[in-house]
Amino acid sequence: MVDLKSHEPALQKILLHFGKLDILISNAGGFVRGDWHEIDLALDKELFEVNVFSVINMNRLVVKHFLQVGGGQIAVMFSASGKVPLILAGPYTASKYAIQGYFNALRGETYGKNIDVTLICPGLVQTSLVHGALASQNGEASEGTQIPWEVQATWMSPERCAYLSLVAIANRLNESWVSNFPTIPYMHFALHFPVISQFFDSLIFPPFIRKVKSLIDVTR
């Protein structure tokens, strides 16, 4: 994904083989974990190369193609942390906010041009994304970091997430939130009642952060 020079040949290969392109679904992404003030800036840049710039570059090529042929659809997986911040994952959160900004702007610029932009916003899903998170002070993957199954058991399965994402794409929704309870109610509360939400967060987050750190330390 970060080899930007490979994007145009990849698009041309698709067009040569299939004769057309109807939709591009972007699902590339990485994760950085750690205390906000301890994360090396190089990791922020590395994460943005994957999560933001590679996605934007590929989609710009495809949007140009769609404008030439009369339309198409863009679908992008971003994250619930692109709506409400994910603590101990500042760079990841920022990259998802950036994705939302880029593609909401794209949607506004392509009204009336037969190009649909669908943003898929998953919450916690049982994938290996967190397990391969980059450590906070170097570029090495934090091998061995595992989230206990009793925690993951409450998360959405990849199959369910994929199914709901495809439903949103098929119906050409602008945006779809995909998550198990209580993530979506919490997102609505945080977005619509920010002052009250931040008060409760100030009470809940400190013990939650300690618990998360203890899980990482134990399972590292």
| Residue 146 structural domain | 4-219
User: pLDDT of 33-81, one tens digit each?
Assistant: 889 999 999 999 999 999 999 999 999 999 999 999 999 999 999 999 9
**Cα gap 55→110, rounded to integer Å:** 18
Give pTM, 2 decimals.
Answer: 0.87
For the cut 60, the answer to whether the pLDDT of residue 138 exceeds it is no
Residue 160: Cβ-neighbour burial (10 angstroms; 0-12, 13-18, 19+) = middle
Model confidence band, residue 143 (pLDDT cutoffs 50, 70, 90)? very low
Instruction: Spell out the residues 6+ positions from residue 177 whose beta carbon is closer than 8 angstroms to its own.
Output: 80, 83, 121, 123, 183, 184, 187
Answer yes or no: are the C-beta atoms of 175 and 161 closer than 8 Å.
no
If you average pLDDT over residues 16-29, what whole number do you get? 96
What's the CATH number where 38 sits? Answer: 3.40.50.720
**Range 174-183 average pLDDT:** 95
Query: What's the whole-number mean pLDDT along residues 172-189?
Result: 95
- Indicate the number of domains in the chain: 1
> pLDDT digit string (tens) for 155-175?
899 999 999 999 999 999 999
- Helix H, strand E, coil C: the string for 47-81 is HHHHHHHHHHHHHHHHHHHHHHHCCEEEEEECCHH
DSSP, collapsed to helix, strand or coil, labels residue 116 as strand
Query: How confident is the model at residue 144, as a pLDDT?
Result: 43
Does 182 sit behind a cis peptide bond, omega within 30 degrees of 0 on the bond before it? yes
